[in-house]
Structures are given as structure tokens and as C-alpha cells.
Structure 1
Amino acid sequence: MEFRKLVAFSETLHKLADSHQDLFGTELAQFKRMNAIDSPQQLEQTFQAVQEQNRLMNIGIVGRVKAGKSSLLNALIFDGEPILPKAATPMTAALTTITWGEAFQAKVEFFSEKDISIIKNKADQYKTRLDKRTQECLEELIKRRPMQQTPGSPISDNEELIKMAVRRAQSELQREEGLFAAYDQYQRMQRSGSERSPQNFQSDIQANNPKELADRLHEYVGAEGKFMPFTKSVHVFMPLEALREICIIDTPGMNDPVQSREERTVELLKTCDVVFIVSPAGQFLNEQDLEVMGRITQKQGIQELVLIASQVDTQLYGSEKRARLSDALNNIRDQLSARAQSTLADLKQSNPEVGSVFDNLINSARSNLLHSSGLCHSLNRRFDTPESWDDNDQHTWKNLTGDYPDYFSREKKDLSLNSLDSLANIAAIKDVLAQVRKKKAAIIQDKLANLSISTRKSLQAFQHQLISLGSNQIALIKNADVVQLNAQLNELKFKQSELALELDPCFNETMFEYRKKLRDEMRKVASNLLRESKDIMEDAESAYSETRTIDNDGLGSWFARKLWGGGITEKTVTSRKIFSSQVVSSLDDFINDIQDELGDEIERSRYRLNGELCGKLTPIIREVLDKDANGQMIKQAILSVIQAIPDDDFNLGIELPEELKSRGPLKDSEAEKFKDAADDFVGSLGSKVKNKISTFIDNVKLNAPTRISDSFVNEIERKINVLKGQVNSAAQTIDRLERLLRKCEEVAL
């Protein structure tokens, strides 16, 4: 069978690579990570899981936090009952599988003692490195800002510099996600107050109904649950017909800050036959959605995707409101499908490796896009018990009855239920689910074929990388001489001071110009975008007229009202109306646009900086080292040093104030108050963005080294010493490498 050949091919390549790891350093490990190359054992498990004949149909539910995943699952499985909790952040979300079982129960898998020990060791490493780096940063800050340090005062007395040092150290080390995630997770374990071993926790939970089971699981998956930090995964079983022959994998929000849980999510997604991408209609298919879509199709081989625009009810109150509910819904679907078509086409063009997965969605976006509203489904099921509605339910109903009174009213129950159903659209989603079940065999075959193709490409790339590394290393050893290498080391030490005098000023001047130009370009980009902010309120604001009855003044008018209904005047009043959801959505999109544009400018500037540094520093090094210069080694060393300069992440971090939360259409005084708050926010946005840019540029200065010459010399010394060791045993090393090349070239599929 094809997959057995691929597994055998993988085993051979991994054995060859592992047995020659000492010759290649970290390059092979980096290559395997970048190209998602699994171990032979993982690869075999994946193939076996995919082709198992009697296995359940695995359905993945993915989407960012607050995308409406829990509401959708509650509607599909629990008839709208709020059984699954809503996560506030990725940290409080839980990785859960839900499938059929003979009773309501759950099995909780905890981290083992070994898992916890590894987490603790990594947490300790993080803390040690954080303390060390904090002290280093503090000493650097004191050298750069001597005026802020009172003469004779101890370092610990200068609180402001200490805080800056801590922030800088934390910012640097958070990039090492494995250590930082372990530290964060271990802190949560300690704060839980539990000292018991996970093996002693209750792991089998029984209940009589879904609600009772959900309540009992709170301690294990709830944001404040006592055992939540120790919970590895939760497997829920329920005797519900909707779960027959399927397994639903409910993932946390993607970009999970807990690395171990992110890895479990990715592993489970590999087994999925179909994935539902849930994205809020108000911010449909944003960057986070596209990132996860590209990843799960490219690396996990998933072939069947279903797009669901959730929370569609929030889009009914825009400036293009239609008189008929069906027209409004069709207009929203047209806009969403147009965005899906253009966005996915752009994604495929920029990431051709995703193959044909998106073709069906792109070519027939209108028919392949589903809308939903879990909240409207819940209102439909609890229509006769409005006392059970929370504030959000009440407000949604008020908006629906106010803007679409012909379709939503207490007096017209059947019409209201049908209208709520059309927004919820749960029946259509269930139909798609039923169709997917029928295509189970075809989906599995397609998934297996796609997995084979992608695995073959990855392993062949791995094979070529091994051959390329081996050939380059042989050439380097043959052309090297130990005497010359020692001479280069001595000359390097002798000329280190001269290098510092030439390199460091050039580097600092280039970095100064880089920061100045970057600040100016970022401000220019922000200014151009901020000019568009005035249009946000205009598009969401409208006027409406209504006739009001006013009592006339005077005793005669009073008698007229009492005797025959007179004494009144009808007056037409024009008032303001604000569509708050449209304002909030537009502001969120606007802020995201600023973030994206400034991020792109930073990336472009950093790319130009790397080129400028290479162009300016390399000639200086060649001139100083003269005949002792090894061109290839200098180029590799300078590239390594430049790449080691920290990439500064720009985070705009501007959130809407509480008074600008979406509350549906607003009228009169509420509209005026909301507009004032929005105007104030937009008015202050320019200064906030400018301050963020200034802070970012300051951090760029703080995070960059001031002496690049030391880093360069250290890197050259390291490379020369490694090469010396290989030259000293040249015959043996070259023989090993040549045998590796022969074996690599002999391996074939």
C-alpha cells in the first residue's frame, strides 16, 4: 500500500538524518519544523486513523474566540439550550470531543506526572532566564541613561528603570513560546491550590442529563475551575441521536497561547474529515480565520470545508436595511459571499500550496456559504418563556420588533417563529451535516490521497535538503586548512578593536536612520488612514420621522380631551437614528486596517534594513580583514547576526470603550449619546496611534544591540572552530558525508 511505502521512506530518511545530526547542527531540525515533517510513528498513526473503515466521522469546529461556536453547537446538538459554555479568551476555552454514548458521561484526561515535571522544568528555565535577562537589561539601561540614576544609589532603588528592564526582558522571552507557555501554565497550576497528583483526580463524570453534565464539568474546563490547569482533554459522551456515528471536535480559539494545547488541537484536526469554519458576519473572514484555514488545509490535508457566517442577526440594522426580512437577509448573504469569493481567491493566489481545497468555495461562494444565529434559534425555542431571556436576548428581540415589526411580534407567534428560524438557519446546517455523512467514504478516500501527495512532497524535500547540506559541507571541509583557520582566528582577535571602530558606528548610524525613516513612514500611513475616519459615522447615521400627539395647553383643551378627545395637536418630528452594530463593526475594521497597514510598513522597512546592513557592513569587514577574509563565511556570519536582531512586534492595542459596545439601532437621546462617544473616540484616535508609534520606535531602539562587532566576531569564531574540528578529522568526516549522500540518493519511493 502507498502509505506503507511512505512510512518506510520516512523511517530511512530519519535514521540517516539522526545518525549524522552532529554534522548539521540545528538546520535539519528547523527544516522539519518549517515543513511539518512528522516522525515515522506519527505518520503511520495518521494514515491508520484516516483509513480505518468503521471509524466515526470526525467533524472539526474552528474559529476565533467569540465567533459563536458554542452557540452553534448548542443549537445543533442541544436544541438551543446553553449547555456548552462561552469562552471569554483562548486561555479559558477547552479542547473537547463530543460523541454518542449510552449514558451522559465524560472522561477527563489530565497531564501525567511526567508532563507536569517537564512543564515545571521549562517554567524554571524561563524564570532563570527572565531574571538573568532582566539584570542585563537593567545594566544596559543604566549605561544609556546615567542621568536617571542618582549617584551612589543602588540599582534596586531606581524603580522606573527596573520596570523598563522587566518589560523588555519579558517581551524578549515571550517570543520563546514553549518556555513562556510552560511558565504561564505552571503558574495556573500553583494558583489552583491543588497539590494532589492528577492520578488522584476524579476523571469519570456521570450525570442524568446534558445540563447536569455541563455543571459538573465546570471544575475541569471552566475559566476558574480548580482542575482546569491540569486538564489535558475532555471526551464527552451523550445518548443523543444527533451524535450517532460522528465525533465533534470543538477546538479552542486558534493562536492558542498554551503551546501544549495548540499541539493537541492540531493533532486532532489532522483526523477531521470536514471542518466548519465559524466566522462572525460582522467581521467575516479576518486574518485569524484565513491563517487557520491556510494551515489546516495545507498541513493537515483536510479537503472538505464548510463556511458559516455566525451572528447574522447583528447585520440586520445597517444603513441598507430592507423592508422585507428576506430581502435584508439576501443582501447580507450577497455581501458575505462576495467577500468570501475575493478573500479566498487572494489567499489561494498568495498560498498556492493549499491546492484545490478552496476552488468549490470560490466558484460557488453564494451556494456554499451558510449563515446562522444561535441566539435566534434559542429565542425560537424559548419563545413562550420570555422570563428566561437574559438582557442580550431582550435587547435583540427589541431590535427585531422595532425594525421588522411585520415579522416579529408577540401577537403573530407562527410568523415570529418562522422569521427566527430563517435567521437561525439550523435546518440548513443540519442538511449539510447529513450530506457530509453520506459522503463519508468519498471524503476518506480524498483525504487519504491528498495526505499521500502532501507527505510525498514533504519527504522528498527533506531528502533533497539532506543531500544539499552534505554536499556543501564536503566542499567546505576540502577547501579549508587548519593553519589558515588558526591564522584567521588570531587575526580576528588582533583586529577586533579595529572592527569595532569601523562596524559599530556604521551599524548605529544605519539603525538611527532606519528608526527615523520608519517613524515618519508609519505616521504618514496612519495619517492617510485617519482621514477616512470621518466617514464611519456618516454611513451609520440616518434620520427618521414619526408623528407625535401633543396635548394643547389651557383649561379648554383639557375639557376637550376629557369630553370628546380633542385638545391635541399632531406633530411630525424628525429624529436621529444610529446603527450601533455598524459603527462598532466599522471602528473595529478601521482599527484592524491601521494595525495591518502599519505592520506591513514595519515588515517592508525591516526587509530594506537587512539589505542595507549587508551592503554596508560586508565591505567594511572585507577591508579590515583583508586577505584573511573568507567571503562565504563572512556572508553567513553577517546574515546570522542580522537575523538575530530582535523583530519588534507592533501591537496597536486600542480597544473600544465600554460605551461603544454594540446595542443595535439607537434613537433620540440614546443615539446622541452613542454618537458623542463615537466622535470622542475617533477624535482621540490620532493622538493614540501617534503615541503607540512613538512607544514602538523607542522599543526598537532599546531592543537593538549597540555593538554588532562583538556578535559578528563571536559568530565567526564559532564557525571557524566547528570547521576546524571537522578538518582535523577530514578523512573520516568526508567519508561519513559521502556515504550519507550515496544512501540518500539510493533511497527511492
Structure 2
Amino acid sequence: MLENFNAKKQKLLDAYARLAKSGLVFSDGLDENTLKDRASKLENEEFILAIAGQMKAGKSTLLNALVFGGEPILPADDTPLTAKITEIRYAKQPKLKANFYSKDEWETLKTYKDENGREFFKNDIVPTIKDKSVEARGLGTSKEDKIENLGEYVANKGLYTPFVKTVEIYHPSEILRQLIVVDTPGTNDSNKFRSQVTLDWIGRCDAAIYASYAGRMLDENDYKFITNYLLHLASSKRIIAVNKIDTANSEEEVKSDLERIKQDDKFKDTIFNDKSKFVLTAALADVIKFKEKNGKLDEDDEFYKKKLVKKGFYENSRVEELRELVAKKLVENKGDDLIASHTDFIMQTFERKKREIDDRRASLQNALNVSVKSNEEIEASIKKIEANIEQIYQSQNELANEFDERISDIQDEIEGATVDKFEKVRKFLIDKLYSYNSINDIRYRIEWDVKNALEDNAIFKEIAKVARESLEENIEAFKYEVIAKFEKITGFDQTLIENRVNHKTFTSVKDMQDQVSALAISNRTVENALSDSTRFWQRWFDTEKGKENYKAKLSSAIQDNLAQIQNIVKDKIKNVVSQNADEFINGIKTAMRECEEENRKLYEEISVKGQLKSTEVAAIKERIKDIKLELEGLDKFKNEIETEIK
């Protein structure tokens, strides 16, 4: 999957280079720097993969197998060696960079108590401090070191561990060329700063792996972490890796346990749904194979190797299956949209340039048409412009008001579509609420019910689709109204007006359509709304209401929660429509003004100098021929690029 993505990405980068070198598509607002900037953004675009899981789930071993080909870069032990946010990135030379707490964060940690009133600093940090002088010289700074010294920054007995907030690891692993891997702390991490960083990274990720230990698969702590941290994440992004399956008696035993858990009421329609993906892994096998290849097996490794061989996991750890699933998720969740976006932009550079060329051709043809008019016709045209100049500018304001009315109608359509969609979801959730028999059912299920209802009904996508279709219909109709009205007032050549309007409004129309379409496919929009929903329910269940088995109050809470999300949806899409409306109408006004100025100048010049000489007419006709050749060359170049990137 990623190989295919990389091939498509390289074709797009090659296309950007060809476009920049040729200069054939350069136009207003689009030059060599623009193309190079777009190419740079594509080249530097990275996928983000977040890894989470309880301690002892073999998360470090899983990462060593998945990212480093089995090389034990991350130390694995029963102690929380990687209980820090660890960002893993590509670099030609391996190294680590530790980022220490700021002085303000350090002072805040001293006063911080968890939800049970436990003093985090006193109980979790102070006992691990071995050299207090690090506080004075380290806080607020970063420190680079060799990867083999990682334990000094993340292990319980590490010299710098108490003062480290996050760690960055740089490594030449090929998978990291386009992938940032973020290893989050164990699920029982009570450090609120690390907890917030975890939420930030998971919120930005393009796929997330949750590692669960086969021996205590998806226990209460797993459930709490997934609900607290991964609930707002689109189900399509989440992968559950049941690791250490080699510790079970057999793979069949693990699969049987998994099926049993799926039947648990608490897990139905929550962690287990149609979009959930599960992989069983024995990551230790890849680490031992790496050590064996490099002649570094010790007695423990030999012992585990025998067990892995006996159970059939040594030659097939299932990590490759996980790697392929991650690649598929990354491409589906971000890669496809990324490729489509850049492909569309490249093809639109040709359309933008074509409109500019058509505008130039129409302008020259208009000059020819005017040049053959008699003096009487010229005088009449000048008088018509002078007589109607006030009407021309007045019509601009009238057109602006007309477009505002159209935008208002579009907003009403968005409002109506939003109400209709949410009403269906609201009814579904209320019916679901009253089907539950206990407060525990509600407590465990209602957040997930809201999440699944919003995802399954694709509310954002459907409402954005309504907005996009309405925009396209109204914009095209409005442009023809403008052209007809302006032609009637001025008597100018309709082709000139039409090409000028299409040219001057191209960017604003394209931006408006693209931004609405981006909302239609954006998982981020859904996730932001679901994140708000998660916080809502967490606050709600922390109150006395959440302890009462009173469905009427919960029904009201569902109404409140959906009202909040409904406003987010509606406002997000309506704002995109509104913020581009002014730019569009300004493009209309610019087109009208330029046509008026251009024709006035033509009329006045011919009135003073007389009709164009035959040599001048011939020169204009030659320029029109050149433009025709330019269009043919552009079209040929477009076909070449299109063949290469599609």
C-alpha cells in the first residue's frame, strides 16, 4: 500500500518539477515559487502513527519489530522504561533528543494531585531523582545523546528520567521516511502534561495501534484508556494488536478469548464494531530473529526461541500483517485524499491558465470587433457607456445583494439538511437509551452510541455534499445572470464578458468548492466534534446526574450534546461558504470594471485615431493565432502530465 502511495507521490513531485521548469502554467497567483512550495509540502508530508497500551503489553517489543525490523532500539522490561511520550522520526544517523519540563511545568507538577487526591510529584517523581543538580541545569532545555543511552532518559533508574517530558528518537529505518511513530505512555500514567501530549498526538494521528496483552486481553484498564483517549478517534483509524500471543497455550485459545470478549455487553458496539480491526502478534519473534542474525542470542533468547518455534510463531510473528494493515489505514485515511488533492491542484493549474489565455484571446477579438465599427457606432457606444456608467456601478451593488440572497438560501439549505440529519440521529439515540436496563449499560455505552451514530450516518459528509451541490448550481446560474445583465447595460461583446468573469472568479470558486469538499472528507472535523462530545459525557457522568438511573435526564443530556455537535457541523460548513462569498463577488466586480475600462479605452482611441490600420489588424490576428498555438501546446502538455499522474 505505502509503496503504491510512494510511487504516486513521486509522479506528482516529478509533475510539479516539470510544471515549474516549463513555465507553461504560470498565471496570476501561480508562479514557480507556488509550485515549488506545493511540491515541498507534498514531499515533507508525513503520516502519524500513534501507539498506546498498558505496560507489560509488549509495546516496546512490538515497536522494535514493526519499526526497526526487530532491532531492540527501545529497551523492553517489566519496569516502565518507555513511560514517556516518545516520538520516532527518520534521520540518516541514529540519535535521541530529550526534552525536559519547563520551569513552570515543573512547579505545576509539584502541586498537582490526581483525581484520588494523590500527590503526583511527591509519589512518582521525587523517589526517582538521583541528581538534583539536573533540575537547575536541565529544566527548559533539550539534550541530544546516543540511542544506546536511552535508558538514562526513560528508565526508572535513569539519571534524567524525572525531568524528561518527551523523547525524540531519530533512526534511518525506511518506514520512518514518511512516518512519525509516537509511542505514548502506559495507560496508568497520571502525569497531566504527558497525558495532554498523548491526547494531542492521538488527535493528529492518521492511524493508531492499541496494544493489548493476550494474557489479560482488553481488561478494564484497556477499556478505560480506549474510551478516554481513543473514543473520539474515527473507528476506521483504530487497530487493536493483541500481542504476546506466544504466552498463551495456543493461537486458538487467544481467538476464543477474543470471541468471548466480543460478546460482553460492555464491548458490543464500542471497541468491537464493523470498522474495528484486530491483529494477533508475537513481536518477540522478530526481535529474537534480529539478534540471531547478528549473533547476539543469550540463554533467555534461546529459551524463548524454542517456545516460539514450538507454537509456530517464530517464522510468522504476524507483525507483517500488522504492518500491511497500518499501511492500508494510513493510505485510506490520509494518503488517498492527499494524492487526490495534489492531482486535482495540478490539473487545475491547466484550467486556470486556459481561462487566462481565453480571456486574452477574447480581449484581442473584442479589439478587432470594435475596430471595424464606424465613427457613428463608436460615438453611440461612448455615449451609451457615459449614459450607463452610473447604472454599471449601481448594478455591481445590486448583483452583490443578489448573491448575498443566494448565499442566504444556501445557508438555509445547510440549516435544513443539518436539522434533518440530526433529528434522525437524535431519535435513534433516544430509542437506544430507553432500551438499556441499567445505569451501567448507559454508562458504558452512551458515549460510543453517539460516536457510532455520527460516524455511521456520515453527517458531515452528507451536509457538506448538500452545500457543495447548492454552491455549484447557484454560482453557475449567478455568473450567467451577471454576463447577461452586463451585456445588456453596456452592449459589450458577450464573449469578452464571459471569459473575463470566468477568469476573475476562478480562484474564489475553486477555493469555495475545495474547502466544502475538504469538510466532506475530513475525519478531523468529525474527530473534533466527537472530542467535544467525549468531554461532555465525561463531565456529565462526574456529576450526581450520572449516578442516578434516570433516563429522562439522560435523554435531555443527549439533546444538549447533539445540539452542541449540530452547531459545530452547521457553523463549520456555513462559515466556509460565507468566507469565500466576498472574494467571489469582488471577482465579479473586477471583471465588470476591467471590461468597462478596456472598452472605453478602445472606443476613445478609435474615436481619436480612427479605425485600425490593416497592419494593426493583421498584427492582432497574428497574436490570436499565437494564442491558438499556445492553447494547443498547453493542451498537449496537459495530456502528458495527466497520463503520468493518473
TM-score category of the 2 structures, normalised to the smaller one = 0.3 to 0.5
